[in-house]
Amino acid sequence: VLILALDTATEQGSLALVEDDRPLLEYTLSSAGTYLSRLLPAVAELLAAAGREPAELQAIGVSIGPGNFTGLRIGCATAKALAWSLNCPLVPVPAMEVLAAQLPFQAQPIGVVLDAKRNEAFWGLYRCPADRPQVLAEAVRLPLAELSGRLRPPLILTGFLESLIPLLSDAGILLAPPELRRPRAAILARLAGLRLAAGLTASPQQLVPTYLRPPL
Amino acid sequence: VLILALDTATEQGSLALVEDDRPLLEYTLSSAGTYLSRLLPAVAELLAAAGREPAELQAIGVSIGPGNFTGLRIGCATAKALAWSLNCPLVPVPAMEVLAAQLPFQAQPIGVVLDAKRNEAFWGLYRCPADRPQVLAEAVRLPLAELSGRLRPPLILTGFLESLIPLLSDAGILLAPPELRRPRAAILARLAGLRLAAGLTASPQQLVPTYLRPPL
């Protein structure tokens, strides 16, 4: 199965082309403010570099958040339009699972934090004892002031949370290295492949991101 | 410190631009056969997409293998020429450490396997209890027939080893997920930053890759 995966849930976007379990190509794309003008050209470039045609795509995987509103809207709109036009399955994947899956074979829980702006954070708790994440606590939105109360060792902390790191200096908490704290679309594609096999697809006409907050 | 990192030790190349500990952009580049025509344009594209000039680069990190001969030659030649021309430090990083560093916070040893062609493999043993790899056994080249004798649990196995997977079906061995088995230049850049801070740079005029085999 040839899967195109888009992750624009954070300010560091990622897109990848994965065939069966073989990652073919993967690009990062910064930042959220330029996704509208840069995401579709990057998709075209990725396919061209891999020598593939859009019609060969067999599924579109997309991060549904929570995360950056602008990024999620553009990523989901693009993925929905591609899946509808190419008549292939659309597979939504929770943003935090893409991050937790980057830390396999871990006995301790993995906490995922994303910046929700306005002094709030998105927070979810996972474990990844083998190569796929399990949900311990679904993503929620909470005030930054409540975040430190959630950080109890043993815990590995990850997420695109650069602005929050000064708040997260608890002893005994392991902070994932910076390059493992960003979403990777190649991982999203693998999780999308598992969901596709389980029939967990979405309607291109109806999918909405997980905002976890009323839109402005 | 703004670091450009190139990893062409396998058939799946990777290049990244990292500033201090912040990964700015990262691209994959397939395959070894096209590195000569595609690596330098990809470097130019990476810098342009990040809005940076070549003169702003403060170090060049490069994978020195072992690995794919063609890839290592082109990657090292490119990195050496860039470092020399831009008059910035050149930081060599062992290919296998880039792969082991992708599996942090692991108690068990990490075995890295790379295809050495001609029925041989490159093999090295590491551990990564925190966020940087430690060498348990330096990379060696050995016949494929001897490889299975090295695989003793507990062990996490990684590396760009797709053609070898059928040979590696030992019970009790954890195989890293496919998208974590490929070199990532953003990780190489972080390791290069640590080596740069420790003064572990190389002369652009003298660096040669770790072939572990007399060239043809």
Q: Which of B21, B25, B103 is opposite residue A28, by nearest beta carbon? A: B25
pLDDT at B166: 76
Strand partners, A7: A14
CA distances to A26, A147, B107 from A67, rounded to whole Å, are: 21, 16, 32
Total length of chain A:
216
Question: How far is A125 from A48, CA to CA, in rounded Å?
Answer: 38
Tell me the Ramachandran region of residue B153: left when phi exceeds 0, alpha when psi lies from -120 to 50, beta otherwise: beta
Total length of chain B:
216
Q: Which of B27, B177, B186 is opposite residue A179, by nearest beta carbon? A: B186
pLDDT at B34: 85
pLDDT at B40: 95
Q: Which of B30, B105, B190 is opposite residue A179, by nearest beta carbon? A: B190
Low-confidence stretches of chain B (pLDDT < 70) are 32, 169-170, 214-216
Edge-to-edge strand ranges of the sheet holding A155-158: A134-143, A120-127, A110-115, A155-158, A173-175
Q: Hey, how many other C-beta atoms are within 10 angstroms of the C-beta on A25?
A: 21
DSSP letter (8 states) at residue B54:
G
Q: Hey, how many other C-beta atoms are within 10 angstroms of the C-beta on B115?
A: 19
Tokens of A197: 């096999």
Contact A155, B105 (CB under 8 A): no
Dihedral angle over CA of B44, B46, B49, B55, nearest 10: -60
pLDDT at B149: 87
Inspect the interface and report whether the beta carbons of B28 and A25 lie closer than 8 Å: yes
Interface of A with B (CB under 8 A): 12, 18, 21-30, 50, 101-106, 108, 130-131, 156, 162, 174, 176-180, 182, 184, 186-187, 189-190
Q: How far is CA B158 from the centre of its chain?
A: 12
From start to end of chain A, where are the E strands?
A: 2-7, 12-19, 22-30, 59-63, 90-93, 110-115, 120-127, 134-143, 155-158, 173-175
Question: How far is A214 from A210, CA to CA, in rounded Å?
Answer: 10
Task: Tell me what ipTM this predicted complex has.
Answer: 0.91
Tokens of B14: 């990777």
Question: How far is A188 from A95, CA to CA, in rounded Å?
Answer: 8
Question: How far is B123 from B96, CA to CA, in rounded Å?
Answer: 9
Question: pLDDT digit of tens for each residue in chain A (216 aa)?
Answer: 999 999 999 999 999 999 998 999 999 998 767 888 999 999 999 999 999 999 999 999 999 999 999 999 999 999 999 999 999 999 999 999 999 999 999 999 999 999 999 999 999 999 999 999 999 999 999 998 898 888 888 999 999 887 777 777 667 899 999 999 999 999 999 999 999 999 999 999 999 999 997 655
pLDDT at B182: 94
Strand partners, A59: A3
- Grouping H, G, I as helix, E, B as strand and the rest as coil, residue B20 is coil
> How many angstroms away from the CA of A205 is the closest CA of chain B?
30
pLDDT at B216: 53
Strand partners, A14: A7, A28
What is the SS3 string spanning A200-212? CCECCCCCCCCCC
Tell me the Ramachandran region of residue A98: left when phi exceeds 0, alpha when psi lies from -120 to 50, beta otherwise: alpha
Contact A46, A166 (CB under 8 A): no
pLDDT at B169: 67
Strand partners, A113: A123
Side-chain-side CA neighbours of residue A106 (13 Å): 28
